[in-house]
């Protein structure tokens, strides 16, 4: 009898591009992909922060390089990426400006939607133009793309857009052998969220909505990213992988 073999989650020989990779979830995704064998290009605006991370990765014997640019600048993206080929893209760069609906300004709207949606859309457009069959696009979305929350109408709108974009791109790119999925974390402790969790009442209110009873850590994102990038997820596309401790199960 010939037994089926579990597809591995190694990424040796693959090239990956990760945005917002100098800290938090993006840094974790870049580390996870590099540890799985991929050669990773880390993108962020700060050259100094990128150099620190890349130096640490290279010091651990991993393949990594820095690319400092603003993902909102489409012309710069095209100039730097048009001649490169990546097997994996992680759209992670994003922002949030939590405010009551009545206090959200046009500037808030532009800042959040430009980075969370527009940048991801056009970066994907640029990268998949040369992405080979077997490629994987991973959009870092949020549980907030599936539920609502007070003071987060703008953020929820941006992540719901990412979810729709993910499904539509999966349909369009499937015939080319390219998979597109999203990872939807709950609240993760990162430098961006740390100020919010310094308020005990807010921290407790968040944890109360997570059945597993704890906040997410960046390490919780690493396994899902490697899975979706790897042959182990060969038939997974157009899906939202919830990494939310059960928040959306309510």
pLDDT mean over 187-207: 91
Task: Set out the domains of the chain in order of their start, with CATH numbers.
Answer: 15-189+218-239 (3.40.50.720)
Of 14, 233, 43, 6, the closest CA to residue 131 belongs to: 14
The band of 92, judged by pLDDT with boundaries at 50, 70 and 90, is: very high
- Burial (CB < 10 A; 0-12, 13-18, 19+), residue 250, is exposed
Cα-based distances in Å from 137 to 88, 130, 134, 166:
6, 13, 10, 9
The band of 193, judged by pLDDT with boundaries at 50, 70 and 90, is: confident
pLDDT mean over 64-79: 94
The pLDDT value recorded for residue 223 is 98
pLDDT > 90? residue 43: yes
Q: Which candidate in 109, 121, 155, 196 is catalytic?
A: 155
Buried residues in 226-243 as b, exposed as e (16+ CB within 10 A): bbbbbeebeeebbbbbbb
**Global pTM?**
0.96
pLDDT mean over 128-142: 98
pLDDT mean over 31-40: 98
The band of 51, judged by pLDDT with boundaries at 50, 70 and 90, is: very high
Of 92, 235, 239, the closest CA to residue 177 belongs to: 235
Dist CA 31 CA 39 (whole Å)? 10
The pLDDT value recorded for residue 194 is 86
pLDDT mean over 125-133: 97
- Range in 85-94, 197-206, 220-229 with the lowest mean pLDDT: 197-206
Percent of the chain with pLDDT over 70: 100
- Mean pLDDT computed over every residue of the chain: 96
pLDDT > 90? residue 213: yes
Question: Is residue 91 within a helix (H) or strand (E), and if so which, with residue range?
Answer: strand 88-91
Examine the residue annotation and report whether 155 is marked as an active-site residue of this protein: yes
pLDDT > 90? residue 192: no
């Amino acid at each position: 009898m010939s037994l089926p073999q579990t597809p591995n989650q190694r990424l040796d020989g693959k090239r990956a591009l990760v945005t917002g990779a100098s800290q938090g979830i993006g840094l974790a995704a870049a580390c996870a992909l590099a540890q799985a064998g991929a050669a990773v290009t880390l993108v962020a605006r700060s050259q100094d922060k990128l150099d620190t991370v890349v130096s640490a990765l290279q010091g651990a014997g991993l393949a990594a390089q820095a690319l400092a640019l603003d993902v909102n600048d489409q012309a710069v993206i095209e100039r730097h990426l048009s001649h490169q080929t990546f097997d994996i893209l992680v759209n992670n760069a994003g922002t949030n400006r939590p405010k009551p609906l009545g206090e959200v300004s046009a500037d808030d709207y532009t800042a959040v939607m430009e980075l969370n949606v527009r940048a991801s859309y056009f970066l994907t457009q640029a990268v998949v133009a040369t992405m080979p069959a077997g490629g994987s696009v991973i959009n870092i979305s949020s549980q907030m793309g599936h539920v609502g929350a007070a003071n987060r109408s703008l953020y929820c709108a941006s992540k719901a857009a990412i979810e729709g974009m993910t499904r539509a791109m999966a349909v369009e790119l499937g015939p080319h052998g390219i998979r597109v999925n999203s990872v939807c974390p709950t609240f993760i402790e990162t430098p961006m969220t740390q100020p919010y969790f310094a308020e005990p009442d807010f921290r407790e209110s968040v944890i109360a909505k997570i059945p597993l009873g704890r906040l997410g850590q960046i390490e919780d994102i690493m396994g899902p990213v490697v899975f979706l990038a790897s042959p182990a997820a060969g038939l997974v596309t157009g899906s939202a992988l919830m990494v939310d401790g059960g928040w959306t199960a309510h």
